[in-house]
Amino acid sequence: MDRFAFDLAHLLAGGLVLVSFTMLYQDRLYALLNIFAIHALVLTLSVAWQANVQHAPHLYVTAAIALVFKAIVVPLALHRMVVRLGIHREVETVVGIGATMLAGMGLVALSMVVMLRVTPGADPLAREDLAFALAVVLLGLLMMVTRRNAVSQVVGFMSLENGLILAATGAKGMPLVVEISVAFSILIAFIVIGIFLFRIRERFDTVDVHALDRFRGERR
C-alpha cells in the first residue's frame, strides 16, 4: 500500500483519539461543544480520506453527514440549548480530572494491546484504524460515566458514535446500508435526546442528571 495514504489515515485516526482526550479534561460546556465540533471535523477528514484510499465514493456521503450534522448542526443546537438553559458554568465531574486522564490512558493502552494482538492477519490500515476506533469508543464511554451533566453525557455518547463510524469506514467494503443506518440512528438518537432534555427542563429546570436521583426518594 501507498506509504503516504497509510500515514495520513494513521495520523487522522490518531488525531481523533487525541481530541477525545482533550474532551476528557474540559470543564466548561461551551469549550466541550467546540472540542466536539473539532472531533467531528477530524472524523470527517478521516472518513473522506478512507473514501479516497478505498475508492469508495459512497463513503463521501458518510463524511458529508459527519461534517454537516455532527460538526455544525448538533454543536450549534446544543450551544443554543446551553445558552437558553443558562448552564454554561462549570461541568460537574464525578471523578477528578487527573484520575480520569489516567483511566483514559489505561483504556487506550488496553485497546491497542487487544486489537493489535487479535488482528495480525488483517491488513495494517484496517487493523490500526480499528484499534484507534476502539480507543475512541472506550474514551466516549469513560466520558459518559464521569460526567453528571446531561449535555456532556450526550456529547460523550456522540463521540462514542464517532468511534464506531471510524471503525465502520476502516472495515473495507462494509455495505452502505450500515453506514447510512449509523448516521440515521444518530439522528434519531439526537431527536430522542432533544425531547428528553426538553422534558427534563420542563420538570426540574435543570439538566443535571444528578438532580434526577433525588426524585427517587423512598422507591429504592
Partner 1 sequence: MSFLGLDALGAVLLVPIAAATILIVLPGYVLSARLNVVASLVTLGAAVLLFFERPAPGQYLHVDDLNVVFIVLNTFVGFTTSVFSASYIAHEIEIGRLTPTYLRFYHAMYQTMMFGMNLALVANSIGLMWVAVELATLTTVLMVGIYRTSEALEAAWKYFILGSVGIALALFGTILVYMAARPVVGEGVDAMTWTILVANASGFDPALLNLAFIFLLLGYGTKVGLAPLHAWLPDAHAEGPTPISAVLSGLLLNVALYALLRFKILLAATPQAIAPGPLLVTLGLTSLVFAAFMLYRRRDIKRMFAYSSIEHMGIIAFAFGMGGPLANFAGLLHMTMHSLTKSAIFFAVGHIAQVKGTQKIAEIRGLTVTHPVLGWGLVLGVVAIAGLPPLGIFMSEFLVVSSTFARQPWLAIPLVLGLLVAFGALLLRLGGLAFGEPAGSTAPVEASYVPMFAHLGLVCTAGIYLPPPLVAWFQHVAALLG
Chain residues in the site for partner 1 (CB under 8 A): 114-115, 117-119, 121-122, 126, 130, 133-134, 137, 141, 144, 150, 153, 157, 160-161, 164, 167-168, 171-175, 177-178, 181-182, 185, 188-189, 192-193, 195-196, 199-200, 203-204, 209, 212-213, 215-216, 218-219
Residue closer to partner 1, measured from CB, 31 or 209:
209
Q: Are the CB atoms for 150 and 200 separated by under 8 Å?
A: yes
CA distance 199 to 211: 14
Residue 92 backbone class (left: φ over 0; alpha: ψ -120 to 50; beta: rest): beta
Residue closer to partner 1, measured from CB, 2 or 218:
218
Smallest separation, CB 54 to partner 1 (Å) = 10
Smallest separation, CB 206 to partner 1 (Å) = 12
Smallest separation, CB 36 to partner 1 (Å) = 16
Residue closer to partner 1, measured from CB, 34 or 171:
171
CA angle 158, 159, 164 (to 5 degrees): 90
Beta-strand (E) ranges in 85-136?
A: none
Residue closer to partner 1, measured from CB, 34 or 177:
177
Smallest separation, CB 45 to partner 1 (Å) = 20
Smallest separation, CB 33 to partner 1 (Å) = 19
Q: Phi first, then psi: what are they for 28, rounded to 5°?
A: -130, 145
Q: Is 79 exposed, middle or buried (0-12, 13-18, 19+ CB in 10 A)?
A: middle
Residue closer to partner 1, measured from CB, 34 or 52:
52
Residue closer to partner 1, measured from CB, 44 or 54:
54
Residue closer to partner 1, measured from CB, 59 or 133:
133
CA distance 147 to 91: 8
Q: Give percent helix, percent strand, percent coil of the chain, each to the nearest 5.
A: 80, 5, 15
CA distance 71 to 92: 24
Smallest separation, CB 65 to partner 1 (Å) = 16
Smallest separation, CB 78 to partner 1 (Å) = 16
What is the SS3 assignment for 114?
helix
